[in-house]
């Protein structure tokens, strides 16, 4: 029986469990351009995530323009550099090391960046957007595409200059920037620690 609520019917041979275990943060892509239709299908998968009070607080921007991605990468690196300066934390030092490399591209030369913005404010708005981000990444994995969240880009995307250039309303907030493309090779699994189950009654 068809589900009338579905706006598209994504076909996939991969089970949800397979997608969960096979998804990787992919940082090496082929130059192959991703079809608009596939990106629309993935955004459709994203909006099927649950939301608090059924608010659907998200909006999406897609950037495939190479020049724009290069400029945004440069801008993100500058901001991360200035934010990380003077901090003693391991994470800040690692970030500073990375963004100080002239060849480092925050989007790893991926052909597409999908940014999930929140349209609203509220206690669960960010959670809603992140749930849609995971849907999008699992759906991309099921379609043989690689993805990676790029936290480095959040501050730049929230600058008024970038919002103006991307025609994003000022009241929206960039939450989850996700690069996407055809993986150039295999990405090894990043092992997980055993879960700490602290209570089970």
In the bound complex, what is the minimum distance in angstroms from residue 85's beta carbon to ligand FMN?
Answer: 17
Determine the size of the site formed for ligand FMN (CB under 6 A). Answer: 9
Q: Which residues contact 105 (CB under 8 A, 6 or more apart)?
A: 70, 73
Q: Toward ligand FMN, which CB reaches closer, 38 or 149?
A: 149
Report the 10 Å Cβ neighbour count for 174.
Answer: 22
Question: What tokens appear for 87 in the block?
Answer: 């901090």
81 binds ligand FMN (CB under 6 A): no
Q: Which residue is nearest to ligand FMN (CB)?
A: 151
Q: Is position 149 an interface residue for ligand FMN (rule: CB under 6 A)?
A: yes
141-155 burial, b at 16+ Cβ within 10 Å, e below that, comes to: bbbebbbbbbebbbb
Residue 122 interacts with ligand FMN (CB under 6 A): yes or no: no
Judged by beta carbon, residue 39 or residue 148, the one nearer ligand FMN is 148
CA–CA dist 174, 172 (Å, integer)? 7
Tell whether residue 152 is a contact of ligand FMN (CB under 6 A).
Answer: yes
Residue 200 C-beta: closest distance to ligand FMN, Å: 26
């Amino acid at each position: 029986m068809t589900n009338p609520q579905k706006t598209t019917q994504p076909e996939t041979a991969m089970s949800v469990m397979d997608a969960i275990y096979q998804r990787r943060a992919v940082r090496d892509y082929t130059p192959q351009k991703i079809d608009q239709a596939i990106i629309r299908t993935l955004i459709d998968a994203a909006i099927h995530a649950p939301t608090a009070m059924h608010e659907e607080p998200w909006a999406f921007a897609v950037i495939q323009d190479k020049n724009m991605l290069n400029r945004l990468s440069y801008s993100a690196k500058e901001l991360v550099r200035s934010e990380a300066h003077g901090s003693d934390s391991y994470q800040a030092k690692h970030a500073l090391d990375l963004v100080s490399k002239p060849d480092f591209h925050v989007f790893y030369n991926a052909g597409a960046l999908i940014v999930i913005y929140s349209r609203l404010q509220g206690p669960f708005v960010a959670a809603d957007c992140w749930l849609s981000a995971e849907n999008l990444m699992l759906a991309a994995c099921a379609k043989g595409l690689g993805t990676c969240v790029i936290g480095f880009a959040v501050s730049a995307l929230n600058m008024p200059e970038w919002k103006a250039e991307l025609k994003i309303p000022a009241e929206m907030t960039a939450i989850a920037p996700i690069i996407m493309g055809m993986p150039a090779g295999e990405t090894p699994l990043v092992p997980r620690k055993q879960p700490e189950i602290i209570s089970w009654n």
